[in-house]
Amino acid sequence: MVPGQKNGNKSGLGWVFRNNGGDVVWIGAKAVPRLRSAIETEAEALRWAASTMEALNDENFVFETDSKELVDALSGKSSWPILDAVLQDTQNMLHRIGNVEVKHYPR
């Protein structure tokens, strides 16, 4: 998942779904009302990707993000009160999916 650059009053969200062989299966991209920070944009992108993957009814996913702060917030290693609602919603979806991992993947 990669949040886009903020332009004007919009933020861009995007993610890529790859199979075990690394082939691109599905891509999502959309503009949303401008968010206040990069980590909020990252969190919204993860929530959208998790929601989409939950609908696939599969049980094995690895979510990768270049935001170490987001991975730390999801694992409880750091606190971002501004993200509490988004993180709780995302964590609930991830638990319903099944075997899920969220990993930091540096650029």
65-107: pLDDT as tens digits: 999 999 999 998 988 898 999 999 999 999 998 888 899 999 8
Whether 3 is covered by a domain: the verdict is: no
For residue 83, tell me if it sits in a domain: yes
Q: What is the dihedral of CA 63, 99, 93, 101, to 10 degrees?
A: -30
Q: Is residue 47 within 8 Å of 85, Cβ to Cβ?
A: no
Which CATH number do you get for residue 85?
Answer: 3.30.420.10
The 3-class SS string of 34-50 reads: CCCCHHHHHHHHHHHHH
Number of structural domains (the chain) is 1
Show the domain range for 59.
10-104
19, 21, 31, 23: which is closest to 56 by C-alpha? 19
* Prediction pTM value: 0.82
Assess if residue 1 is contained within a domain. Answer: no
pLDDT at position 49, please?
92
State the pLDDT at residue 61. 85
Residue 66 lies in a domain: yes
Per-residue pLDDT, 1: 52
Over residues 17-66, the pLDDT tens digits come to 888 888 998 899 999 999 989 999 999 999 999 999 888 877 788 899 99
CA atoms within 13 A on the CB side of 82: 12
